[in-house]
Amino acid sequence: MAYVATRGGERAIEQSERLFREEMGGFDRDRVEEVKKSLPYLIDRVMGEASLYDEDLAALALAQTGGELYEAVLLLRAWRTTQPRLQVAAPIEQDTLFTHRRISAAFKDIPGGQVLGPTLDYAHRILATDVLQGAPYAPEPVEPATNPSPAYQPSVSAWQAENDLIDPPTNDPTKGNDIPDLTREPLLFPSKRAHTLQSLARAETGGVLALGYAAMRGYGQAHPTVNELRLAEAEIAVTHPDGRQFSAGRVKVSQAEVVDKKGEKLGIGYAATFGWNEVKCIAAATLDLNSPGAEKGSATEEEFFLYHTEGVESSGFCIHFKLPHYVTFQSSLDAMRDAKAKKAGQSKSSDMEPAE
């Protein structure tokens, strides 16, 4: 790639930004609050892809960019680099998740039972056009049960391990700053598992879905069955200066396990992300399930899917193509004209009689 220093266009650039922002209009704290309240699943998606959990900041980024998701995520990723890291919390363990939804497509009678939680899985998809005619939409209220659901649900895979269906995992004791961190070190291949899962956690939802869907349709080695899907709140376990550990609050998380027959046991793929985003987790877990032994350059090969689902890098690379490439393009044209001229010269000389 070649670059050339150019001048001019300063006024056009300034006015173009003004045009974008003016067409979008002003915004204030009330707008941010409204975005936060009315679009929780979009907020979750942005927080997951930004790898930064704060509903106010995510709503602000959406308000500031008019909902241009790549710009919103970029703003948040850039902002986080200006902030100090106060601590690394203790790892979230599955059995400590305050669970709102936990289902399995693999087994009907899982320990703890199937709890649907908030979902549109079985809803009719009908656009509420009456709202546009002035009729406000008011949802039917939930009829709460007499007794609460257990806050913590047992693990489906642990139960499968007890039944010799999967190999139980051995807990890695790595913690704190020793856990590999993509925000401080490069992604190298073969990737460390901690890097793979961190990268999938912050991956762009559409990219993960596209590649995961390719694997589901047969361009992979394993067909996923959702072993367990969980929407929950996780405690942020931090440490007081005197050593006491406490929860400094909760964040919403999603987690998916998918399985497939692998020899005499089940192979298992896993993914999790900030916020409630089931599609991303199931697709990401499918990629994790398919990646062992995947063909180089295939959609399910780790290097391929990790590089191509990083939203900030991929969108940035895509949009850079609209920036001036005058020198590189001119060079291509020159090469093209040169080849054309040579070809014309060759055919002219072949038409001529040999010199005597």
Give dist(CA 275, CA 41) in Å, integer.
8
- Torsion angle of alpha carbons 156, 161, 165, 167, nearest 10°? 120
Site for other proteins in 64-103 (CB under 8 A): 80, 83-94, 98-101
Nearer to other proteins, 41 or 329 (CB): 41
Tell me how crowded residue 199 is: count the other CB atoms within 10 A of its CB: 20
Does position 272 interact with other proteins (CB under 8 A)? The reply is yes
Cβ-based neighbours of 289, under 8 Å, separated by 6 or more: 222, 224, 258, 259, 260, 267, 268, 269
CA max distance for the chain: 109
Nearer to other proteins, 21 or 307 (CB): 307
Extract the tokens encoding 244: 């006491």
Site for other proteins in 294-353 (CB under 8 A): none
Question: In whole angstroms, how close is the CB of 220 to other proteins at the nearest point?
Answer: 17
Do 197 and 287 form a contact (C-beta atoms < 8 A)?
A: no
User: Which listed residue (106, 197, 214, 284) binds other proteins by CB under 8 A?
Assistant: 197
Q: Which stretch binds other proteins (CB under 8 A): 32-40, 174-182, 312-320, 321-329?
A: 174-182
Closest of 165, 164, 169, 150 to residue 111, by C-alpha: 150
Closest of 34, 47, 42 to residue 67, by C-alpha: 42
User: Which listed residue (142, 323, 352, 355) binds other proteins by CB under 8 A?
Assistant: 142
Q: Give the 3-state secondary structure of residue 246.
A: strand
Burial class (CB in 10 A: 0-12, 13-18, 19+), 337: exposed
Does position 169 interact with other proteins (CB under 8 A)? The reply is yes
Nearer to other proteins, 107 or 325 (CB): 107
Nearer to other proteins, 184 or 348 (CB): 184
User: Which listed residue (17, 130, 181, 334) binds other proteins by CB under 8 A?
Assistant: 181
142: left (phi over 0), alpha (psi -120 to 50) or beta: beta
Nearer to other proteins, 39 or 248 (CB): 248
Does position 160 interact with other proteins (CB under 8 A)? The reply is no
Rg (CA), the chain: 26
Give dist(CA 149, CA 142) in Å, integer.
14
User: Which listed residue (43, 57, 281, 312) binds other proteins by CB under 8 A?
Assistant: 57
Residue with tokens 């601590």: 87
Cα separations (Å) of 153 from 18, 90, 198, 251?
A: 52, 20, 24, 17
Closest of 98, 310, 110, 307 to residue 225, by C-alpha: 110
Does position 202 interact with other proteins (CB under 8 A)? The reply is yes
Does position 237 interact with other proteins (CB under 8 A)? The reply is yes
Give dist(CA 91, CA 237) in Å, integer.
8
User: Which listed residue (34, 40, 53, 219) binds other proteins by CB under 8 A?
Assistant: 53
Nearer to other proteins, 55 or 301 (CB): 55
User: Which listed residue (18, 29, 175, 320) binds other proteins by CB under 8 A?
Assistant: 175
User: Which listed residue (16, 174, 330, 331) binds other proteins by CB under 8 A?
Assistant: 174
Question: In whole angstroms, how close is the CB of 131 to other proteins at the nearest point?
Answer: 25
Extract the tokens encoding 34: 């409204």
Does position 33 interact with other proteins (CB under 8 A)? The reply is no
Question: In whole angstroms, how close is the CB of 253 to other proteins at the nearest point?
Answer: 7
- β-bridge mates for residue 226, sequence order: 258
Nearer to other proteins, 86 or 323 (CB): 86
Site for other proteins in 111-140 (CB under 8 A): 113-119
- β-bridge mates for residue 246, sequence order: 238
Nearer to other proteins, 149 or 314 (CB): 149
Does position 104 interact with other proteins (CB under 8 A)? The reply is no
Q: Which stretch binds other proteins (CB under 8 A): 48-56, 210-218, 301-309, 316-324?
A: 48-56
Nearer to other proteins, 28 or 356 (CB): 28
